[in-house]
Amino acid sequence: MKWTLLQLLMGALTLTGGLSIQAAEPLTQEQFADLHLLIKPSAKEDRWNRIPWQSSLWEARRQAAAKGKPIFLWEMDGHPLGCT
């Protein structure tokens, strides 16, 4: 008799009583503060956010023409979150 991997795994889970999954312990205020400092972008990493980005191409063209500057166009296809 041939057994598939899925059948073997299901059998093993049945024999052992299934998986035991426990929720993680909640973070303390100190742990949260430490984690927040770890993942928060530094001032050097956040410089791109100081650029006055325009979501309107027409407005960007108008401002660029008035200042005699080029346009940096950041364009992408598809959903911004990768959902298709």
In which residue are the tokens 């959903």 written? 79
DSSP-based helix, strand, coil % in the chain, nearest 5: 45, 0, 55
Is 56 part of any domain?
Answer: yes
Is 61 part of any domain?
Answer: yes
Give strand ranges (E) for the chain: none
- The pLDDT assigned to 60 comes to 93
Print the domain residue range for 62: 47-78
- The pLDDT assigned to 41 comes to 86
Is 63 part of any domain?
Answer: yes
User: Greater confidence, 16 or 63?
Assistant: 63
Work out how many domains the chain is built from and give that number. Answer: 1
pLDDT digits (tens, 9 = 90+) for 8-35: 667 766 666 656 667 888 989 999 999 9
CB 71 within 8 A of CB 60: yes
Is 40 part of any domain?
Answer: no
